[in-house]
């Protein structure tokens, strides 16, 4: 379970936001059994209509009652004061009648909320719930807008084993907001579930000498306002914003893909030079790059691992070619193909890591089979290593099992043969464009492509907690 630090806002912060010290009016009390109240956690439903429930690791991630179509965020950031003032407009469509609904926002002070241009009541609940009561009930299947004005000093979320994610200050006085499982909600109100992807637009104003880099394509820079547009729907956890005294370089790949790289103070440009070759390799294995623009943000701060933000990953001072290739591979296995719940994260991360193995083999590194055999010998029958279940590693450990998962991927290749395996590697992200998949979906797909019963393989490798038998290795 993520550990979060309780924060309070001083009177000075409230005054900076233009607030009095009085609390906002509370939301209307919900009647018992009221089916017009949107849930405070996204409820997953299978294609056959079976209700799967909320994410078992983060049950209040996301919200019910609506689907977001677009986020448009306008912000102003003062690096010296580390202070943010912002307005977010969320355009969504109701999936039920709504007399009340939630957005996710961690910390920060909300000063006003409007629904369809009319002031709405709002209150805060739990650690990240912004509870909104519109002036009139919203009918089902209706498009609506929510405008949220807010301000404050954004703070990161601290996740065991991963450190700080979301909005955090860099050593040079800039900021970066990236990383999973929760990033977007540390700086703008959002339906924080990977199942609800939406387009994203940002207008960010910063002082002279500072730059803003974000997800998508930079559309303009004018009078200190940097505008970005991501018209391919993006999961909240893969949005990104970075503010610093960047050196920005733009180029174009041979296939026409636009590249924008941003280098923070005291960073090298050497890692970025590997991007064209890495993408040439990956597109050869996976097909065309799934987004209209790419590149990277390069910081001197240590980030482990490199957050694979959609289109434009973020790399810290310790990143190497393996980190770059894995972050780029995650554009297919992780962003184009996204997971349903966080317990499914190892499914995409393991394939992204295996692509690093293939890349390094092709660059004169160890053969993947030798690497696989060496890894098996090294871990032996270690109960701690094999005891981690790929299909359900546990809350807080969803990003810590890809070392086992990459062995599973190569074992699958050996078990079904190169033809079916490379079909899975290339085609599964492509057929799942803008869809969310879990282990169950992947198991059905691999069995269909292999045209064989893989239940023993899946049980041993994906659901098992001991060394798989020799015939499956």
Q: What is the pLDDT along the chain (473 residues), one digit of tens a residue?
A: 333 323 334 444 444 464 332 233 333 333 335 789 999 999 988 777 788 889 999 999 999 999 999 999 999 999 999 999 999 999 999 999 999 999 999 999 999 999 999 999 999 999 899 999 999 999 999 999 999 999 999 999 887 666 778 999 999 999 999 999 889 999 999 999 999 999 999 999 999 999 999 999 999 999 999 999 999 999 999 999 999 999 999 999 988 999 999 999 999 999 999 999 999 999 999 999 999 999 999 999 988 789 999 999 999 998 999 999 999 999 999 999 999 999 999 999 999 999 999 999 999 999 999 999 999 999 999 999 999 999 999 998 999 899 999 999 999 999 999 999 999 999 999 887 767 899 999 999 999 999 999 999 999 999 999 999 999 99
For residues 289 and 255, the answer to whether their CB atoms sit within 8 Å is: yes
- What is residue 23's predicted lDDT score, i.e. its pLDDT? 31
Q: Strands, E, within 241-310: which ranges?
A: 241-244, 247-252, 258-263, 293-298
* Cα 379-383-389 angle, rounded to 5 deg: 100
* CA nearest neighbour of 240 among 287, 188, 277: 188
According to CATH, the topology of domain 68-245 is Immunoglobulin-like (2.60.40)
- What is residue 46's predicted lDDT score, i.e. its pLDDT? 77
For residues 181 and 165, the answer to whether their CB atoms sit within 8 Å is: yes
Question: From CA 236, how far away is CA 72, in angstroms rounded?
Answer: 13
Question: From CA 122, how far away is CA 14, in angstroms rounded?
Answer: 17
At 281, phi and psi to the nearest 5?
A: -65, -50
- Max distance between CA atoms of the chain, in angstroms, equals 69
Task: State the first-to-last Cα distance of the chain, in angstroms, to the nearest integer.
Answer: 33
Strand-pairing partners, residue 218, are 228
* CA nearest neighbour of 236 among 283, 291, 195: 195
Q: Which residue has the tokens 């969504």?
A: 92
Q: Which two tokens stand for residue 426?
A: 């290339």
Q: List, by residue range, all CATH 2.60.40.1730 domains of the chain.
A: 68-245
Q: List, by residue range, all CATH 1.10.390.10 domains of the chain.
A: 337-472
Count of other CB atoms within 10 angstroms of residue 67 = 13
At 201, phi and psi to the nearest 5?
A: -135, 140
pTM value > 0.75:
yes
Strand-pairing partners, residue 149, are 87, 112
Q: Which two tokens stand for residue 147?
A: 């405008």
Q: Which residue has the tokens 């939406």?
A: 198
Question: Which helix (DSSP H) or strand (DSSP E) does residue 218 occupy?
Answer: strand 217-222
Question: From CA 78, how far away is CA 431, in angstroms rounded?
Answer: 43
In CATH terms, is domain 337-472 a member of 1.10.10.10? no
Helix 345-362 × helix 321-329 angle, to 10° = 130
> For residue 393, what are the contacts with CB-CB under 8 A and spacing of at least 6?
343, 346, 400, 401
- What is residue 291's predicted lDDT score, i.e. its pLDDT? 95
Count of other CB atoms within 10 angstroms of residue 151 = 23
- What is residue 9's predicted lDDT score, i.e. its pLDDT? 41
Question: From CA 274, how far away is CA 262, in angstroms rounded?
Answer: 15
Cα Rg for the chain, rounded, in angstroms?
23
Question: From CA 187, how far away is CA 453, in angstroms rounded?
Answer: 46
For residues 190 and 184, the answer to whether their CB atoms sit within 8 Å is: yes
């Amino acid at each position: 379970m993520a550990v979060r630090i309780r924060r309070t806002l001083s009177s000075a912060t409230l005054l900076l936001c233009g607030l009095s010290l009085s609390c906002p009016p509370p939301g209307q009390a919900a009647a018992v059994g009221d089916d017009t109240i949107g849930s405070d956690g996204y409820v997953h439903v299978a294609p056959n209509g079976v209700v799967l429930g909320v994410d078992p690791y983060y049950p209040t991630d996301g919200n019910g009652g609506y689907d977001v179509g677009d986020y448009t965020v306008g912000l102003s950031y003062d690096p010296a004061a580390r202070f943010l003032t912002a307005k977010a407009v969320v355009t969504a469509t109701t999936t039920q009648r709504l007399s009340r609904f939630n957005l996710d926002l961690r910390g920060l002070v909300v000063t006003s909320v409007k629904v369809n241009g009319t002031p709405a009541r709002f209150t805060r609940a739990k650690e990240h719930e912004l509870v909104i009561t519109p002036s009139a009930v919203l009918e089902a299947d209706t498009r609506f807008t929510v405008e949220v004005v807010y301000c404050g000093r954004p703070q990161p979320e601290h996740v065991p084993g991963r450190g700080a994610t979301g909005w955090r200050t860099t050593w040079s006085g800039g900021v970066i907001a990236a990383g999973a499982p929760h990033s977007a909600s540390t700086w703008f109100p959002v339906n924080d579930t990977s199942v609800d992807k939406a387009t994203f637009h940002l207008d960010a104003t910063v002082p002279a000498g500072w730059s803003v880099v974000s997800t998508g394509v930079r559309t303009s820079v004018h009078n200190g306002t940097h505008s970005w547009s991501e018209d391919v729907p993006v999961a909240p956890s893969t949005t990104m914003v970075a503010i610093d005294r960047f050196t920005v370089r733009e180029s174009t790949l041979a296939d026409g893909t636009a590249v924008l790289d941003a280098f923070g103070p005291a960073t090298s440009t050497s890692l970025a030079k590997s991007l064209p070759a890495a993408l040439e390799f990956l597109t050869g294995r996976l097909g065309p790059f799934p987004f209209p623009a790419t590149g990277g943000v390069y910081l001197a701060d240590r980030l482990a691992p490199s957050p694979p933000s959609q289109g434009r990953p973020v790399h810290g001072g310790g990143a190497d070619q393996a980190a770059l290739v894995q972050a780029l591979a995650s554009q297919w296995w992780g962003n184009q193909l996204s997971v349903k719940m966080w317990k499914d994260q190892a499914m995409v991360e393991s394939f992204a890591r295996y692509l690093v193995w293939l890349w390094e083999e092709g660059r004169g590194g160890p053969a993947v089979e030798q690497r696989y055999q060496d890894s098996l010998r090294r871990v032996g029958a270690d109960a701690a290593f094999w005891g981690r279940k790929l299909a359900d590693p546990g809350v807080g450990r969803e990003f810590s099992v890809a070392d086992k998962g990459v062995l599973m991927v190569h074992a699958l290749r050996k078990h079904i043969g190169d033809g079916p395996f490379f079909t899975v590697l290339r085609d599964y992200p492509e057929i799942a464009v803008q869809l969310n998949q879990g282990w169950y979906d992947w198991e059905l797909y691999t069995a269909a492509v292999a045209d064989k019963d893989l239940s023993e393989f899946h049980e041993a490798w994906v659901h098992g907690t001991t060394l798989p038998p020799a015939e499956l290795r």
